[in-house]
Structure 1
């Protein structure tokens, strides 16, 4: 069976929460739920690190503005994780070249990361913090549900991931003005911070 749908789905999920994907796949492999999960993802040290980082993300992801800082720091991490997981899955299956799987997983993760980061910038223009918390919970549940579904129905899960990705990109187009507002407000806060550090009168 081709591992292509699972690579695509894991890439999409990695762009949202890479640590959750590693943790879920590893646990599914250890418990025998997923036969296509590579041994590397099932190693105890990998699961422990993924679990700790997942807990950190679970907190940071729900705090306004902190979530955007976290997303910025993971602009490289998530696509690399998607590429790494894709290559591992391809190596385990043997039905897809490792390089092709890595490119697919990494590019899909980059696209979904862009949707997540852009959406959070738009949400952060709202004065109340509840939106961040609700959106973060929805993302976590979505990643868990789609990855778990992919263990049993990889083709259907890949279709769901593709629809979610396309829908997210479409929503992002409509949120461009709010994202620009977020970037302007962040730049203004940075300028005010510099002004506050300048002694007055100079000299």
Structure 2
């Protein structure tokens, strides 16, 4: 379950870096469903949550404007994988929905021990998975914008934000359903690319 939680959160980070961070931070701060422990307690700090909220608001606006969304995706190439690594790593060392996950510390006090202990593995997995999802999103958006003259940007961005929220919540409360969410995400991307692809050779008038 901890792996499914990490997969869901890092996939969500690939769509929107700030949503899974806010979900974890808010649930840790205001509920008993999530206990991030000492290593990731900073995610629920009031100032950190406020910064995340402001950055989320900025991205929500920027990601819905054609051309600006592509620039934002370039910037997010670093931010989203970083977020994915953080949320995957935190999911392996936290108490989420009553399940004590992982239990290993991610504090770097001895670099050699950090490497040999394998605590870096979940972070790397989260980075890679978020980067893959982000890459698909970044490559798909220009195609959709071009085909729709920019009209698809706000629609796709809103859908991505909703999916990121849903997958983040599923990852915390019903991680077994994360697989269904990821399958839906893959199918939706495939359907969009297939729809934008010409269905056959051009027909020329005689």
Cα distance in structure 2, aligned partners of 1:36 and 1:85: 13
**Which structure shows the higher helix fraction?**
1
Pick one of 134, 138, 141 that aligns with 1:120.
Answer: 141
* Structure 1 pair 106–161 and aligned structure 2 pair: CA distance change class (3 A): farther
Query: Which moved further from structure 2: 125-134 or 54-63?
Result: 125-134
Give the corresponding residue for 1:143.
164
Structure 2: tracts of 5 or more residues without a match = 95-100, 105-117, 199-206
Partner of 1:195: none
Q: TM-score, normalised by structure 2?
A: 0.76
After the TM superposition, which segments of 4 or more aligned residues of structure 1 sit over 4 Å from their partners? 171-178
> What TM-score, normalized to structure 1?
0.77
Q: How many residues align?
A: 176
What is the aligned partner in structure 2 of residue 91 from structure 1? 93
Aligned partners of 1:172, 1:40: CA distance in 2, in Å? 38
Which sections of structure 1, spanning at least 5 residues, go unmatched?
Answer: 179-203
Which residue in 2 is equivalent to 1:35?
34
Would you say 1:20 and 2:19 are equivalent positions?
Answer: yes
User: Over aligned residue pairs, what C-alpha RMSD do you find?
Assistant: 2.4
Quote the residue 1:73 is aligned against: 75
Q: Structure with the greater relative contact order (CA < 8 A, sep ≥ 6): 1 or 2? A: 2
Instruction: Write the distance in 2 (CA, Å) between the matches of 1:88 and 1:127.
Output: 39
CA distance in 1 between partners of 2:155 and 2:193 (Å) = 21
SS of residue in 2 equivalent to 1:88:
helix
